[in-house]
């Protein structure tokens, strides 16, 4: 048998052709070198060209080191109000010691020969600025990526740092054009027409305090309002009373950021305020039968109110910005309350002192109010200057002043309005020595700064057991509002606050026996009705 012949063809090795593209060579940073040359050349041949690009471009906007040095010289000449041409730029580069780094006079001459005019200069400058922003984003992303692989890096701190750096880039990239006055006048007139239709001449968000609203016309859009007081003066109680007026009584969406107390503590205070129940009884649950009914009415009111609370501790300005934008966009929130400013931080940024950090926070709050076009109310602490101050008239001596604002004078500068809360009763002052007025249960709201109105004092009632502020003319005794089943006292025929009568409780009522039979809101798992 013949052996079969192996007819396998021999493979011939042929050279492999490799196509080398951008990806194989590696990525190049975003750049526009030709446009950079065109812009620099135009700046040296056009007399007033620099003014049209100065807001768009920084030396760091240029990818080429040569162009960066030349632009720095051009900017220095502009500051000196000196003429800008090839000779003056060359001389300025000599003074700065960067002429050789910039390519010398020969390179300057080449740049001016490339362009005939400054046509399309702004358009080209915008492209260069966009490329620079893209490079900044890439740099930040690489830094964050590197730290993300570091297992010793705290993730929350990394998120704050990343957010801060990106926010900084976005702020630099945002440029608002100058607006011709005509559309602004139209907007202002439109607001006046809307204000004219409102009762009581209220153009902003009403606080619910009549005397205060007469002076302020309500809290105005884009305003930063600082409400400051010493500890235990009732700062939180005041803003919660205001939040109750706005969201519960007026059905206006409102948000409260509480950095000091939890959501549960905040809600307990609101319940005490709305139900006219002693805050101690709310905490320990020792309520009478008719008080359980008052609680039921209050809870039903609060559940329907467009009130949003957040108790994130040590809230950063970046977190606040993110949450505030979402609240305004998704829920139509018309006012934000922050309790309180000194507990906020600016994570991801380095500061030499706490004063610098507080200054940035106050500036950021003002910027946020303008951006969202809503009033932002921030509580603030006062220093001990009030406690150490005395006067012949003790009432006047204990009143807070703008100089008492704690940690930063920037708070006073950035705020559109600064209000102080002063309760003479706290300092054992029960009577005004001048007028003889009884000061017990009195709280003064002192408007110390008001950019668009008068600075006056407003008197309110303060009821500490209910953590509540009221108008002086209001009488909100729960015995009159709800009626007492503990005695036979008559109910006021015309109570100032109209509240639905709570349902009558049977004689065998047991608050710990469950709630389904008493029309109380069911809560998960517990026997106590809240």
Give the pLDDT of residue 491. 33
Backbone angles phi, psi at 204, to 5 degrees: -115, -155
Give the pLDDT of residue 480. 44
- Helix, strand, or coil (residue 186): helix
390 has a pLDDT exceeding 80: no
In terms of Cβ atoms closer than 10 Å to its own Cβ (0-12, 13-18, 19+), residue 97 is exposed
Say which range, 5-9, 32-36, 57-61, 488-492, has the weakest mean pLDDT: 488-492
Check residues 260 and 33 and name the one with the higher pLDDT: 33
Structure tokens at 337: 């309350």
pLDDT digits (tens, 9 = 90+) for 131-160: 988 998 998 899 888 888 888 888 877 887
Give the pLDDT of residue 500. 47
Q: pLDDT tier at 397 (50, 70, 90 boundaries)?
A: low
- Tokens 């109209």 belong to 498
pLDDT digits (tens, 9 = 90+) for 177-195: 555 666 667 777 776 776 6
Backbone angles phi, psi at 460, to 5 degrees: -130, 165
Give the pLDDT of residue 178. 58
- Tokens 């001048």 belong to 434
Share of the chain above pLDDT 70, in %: 75
Q: pLDDT tier at 352 (50, 70, 90 boundaries)?
A: low
Identity of the highest mean pLDDT range in 81-85, 270-274, 499-503, 526-530: 81-85
With beta carbons less than 8 A apart as the criterion, state whether 469 and 209 touch: yes
65 has a pLDDT exceeding 70: yes
Q: pLDDT tier at 479 (50, 70, 90 boundaries)?
A: very low
Q: How far apart are CA 353 and CA 206, in angstroms?
A: 37
Query: Which strands, in side-by-side order, build the sheet including 376-381?
Result: 307-310, 254-258, 336-339, 376-381, 224-229, 417-422, 442-450, 457-463, 468-471
Say which range, 37-41, 231-235, 326-330, has the weakest mean pLDDT: 231-235
Backbone angles phi, psi at 406, to 5 degrees: -85, 135
Give the pLDDT of residue 494. 35
Candidate list 260, 265, 288, 472, residue with the active-site label: 260
pLDDT digits (tens, 9 = 90+) for 81-137: 788 888 889 999 998 898 889 888 889 888 888 777 777 888 888 899 889 889 989
Residue 349, Cβ neighbours under 10 Å: how many? 18
Domains of the chain: 27-173 (1.10.860.10), 201-481 (3.40.50.300)
Residue 312, Cβ neighbours under 10 Å: how many? 12
56 has a pLDDT exceeding 70: yes
Check residues 451 and 355 and name the one with the higher pLDDT: 451
Q: pLDDT tier at 345 (50, 70, 90 boundaries)?
A: confident
Give the pLDDT of residue 348. 53
Closest Cα to residue 400, out of 231, 215, 150? 231
Say which range, 14-28, 332-346, 393-407, has the weakest mean pLDDT: 14-28
Give the pLDDT of residue 398. 73
Identity of the highest mean pLDDT range in 231-245, 393-407, 431-445: 231-245
Q: How far apart are CA 291 and CA 279, in angstroms?
A: 12
Torsion of CA 508, 505, 296, 521, to 10 degrees: 60
- State yes or no: is 407 an active-site residue: no
Give the pLDDT of residue 245. 86
**Strand bridging mode 417-422 / 224-229:** parallel
Angle between helices 65-79 and 86-96 (to 10 degrees): 100
Give the pLDDT of residue 182. 66
353 has a pLDDT exceeding 60: yes
Backbone angles phi, psi at 295, to 5 degrees: -60, -40
Closest Cα to residue 399, out of 460, 448, 467? 448
């Amino acid at each position: 048998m013949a052996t079969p012949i192996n007819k396998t063809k021999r493979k011939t090795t042929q050279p492999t052709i490799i196509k080398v593209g951008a990806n194989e060579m590696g990525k190049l940073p975003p750049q526009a070198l030709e446009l950079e040359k065109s812009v620099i050349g135009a700046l040296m041949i056009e007399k007033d060209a620099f003014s049209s690009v100065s807001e768009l471009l920084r030396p760091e906007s240029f990818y080429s080191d040569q162009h960066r040095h030349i632009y720095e010289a051009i900017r220095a000449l502009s500051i000196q109000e000196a003429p800008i041409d090839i000779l003056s730029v060359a001389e300025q580069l000599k003074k700065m010691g960067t002429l050789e780094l910039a390519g010398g006079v020969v390179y300057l001459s080449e740049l001016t020969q490339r362009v005939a005019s400054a046509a399309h200069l702004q358009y080209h400058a915008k492209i260069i600025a966009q490329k620079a922003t893209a490079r900044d984003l890439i740099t930040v992303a690489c830094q964050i990526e590197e730290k993300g692989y570091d297992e010793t890096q705290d993730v929350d701190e990394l998120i704050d740092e990343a957010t801060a750096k990106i926010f900084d880039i976005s702020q630099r990239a945002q440029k608002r054009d100058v607006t011709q006055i005509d559309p602004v006048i139209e907007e202002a007139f439109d607001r006046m027409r809307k204000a004219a239709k409102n009762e009581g001449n209220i153009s902003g968000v009403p606080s619910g305090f009549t005397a205060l609203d007469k002076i302020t016309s309500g809290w105005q859009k884009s305003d930063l309002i600082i409400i400051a007081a010493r500890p235990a003066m009732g700062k939180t109680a005041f803003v919660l009373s205001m939040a109750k007026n706005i969201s519960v009584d007026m059905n206006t969406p409102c948000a409260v950021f509480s950095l000091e107390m939890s959501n549960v503590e905040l809600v307990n205070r609101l319940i005490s305020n709305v139900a006219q129940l002693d805050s101690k009884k709310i905490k320990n649950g020792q309520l009478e039968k008719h008080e359980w009914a008052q609680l039921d009415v209050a809870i039903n009111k609060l559940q329907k109110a467009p009130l949003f609370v957040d108790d994130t501790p040590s809230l950063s300005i970046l977190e606040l910005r993110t949450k505030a934008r979402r609240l305004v966009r998704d829920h139509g929130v018309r006012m934000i309350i922050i309790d309180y400013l000194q507990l906020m931080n600016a994570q991801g940024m380095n500061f030499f002192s706490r004063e610098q950090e507080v200054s940035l926070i106050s500036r950021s709050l003002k910027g946020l109010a303008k951006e969202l076009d809503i009033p932002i109310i921030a509580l603030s602490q006062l220093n001990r200057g009030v406690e150490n101050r005395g006067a012949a008239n003790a009432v006047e001596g204990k009143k807070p002043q703008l100089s008492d604002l704690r940690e930063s004078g920037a708070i006073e500068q950035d705020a559109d309005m600064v209000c102080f809360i002063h309760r003479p009763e706290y300092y054992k002052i029960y009577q005004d020595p001048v007028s003889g007025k009884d000061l017990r249960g009195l709280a003064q709201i002192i408007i110390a700064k008001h950019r668009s109105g008068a600075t006056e004092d407003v008197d309110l009632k303060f009821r500490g057991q209910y953590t509540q502020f009221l108008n002086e003319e209001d009488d909100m005794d729960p015995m009159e509002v709800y009626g007492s089943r503990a005695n036979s006292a008559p109910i006021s025929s015309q109570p100032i606050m109209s509240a639905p009568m709570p349902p009558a409780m049977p004689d065998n009522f047991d608050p710990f026996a469950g709630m389904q039979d008493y029309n109380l809101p069911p809560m998960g798992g517990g026997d106590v009705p809240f």
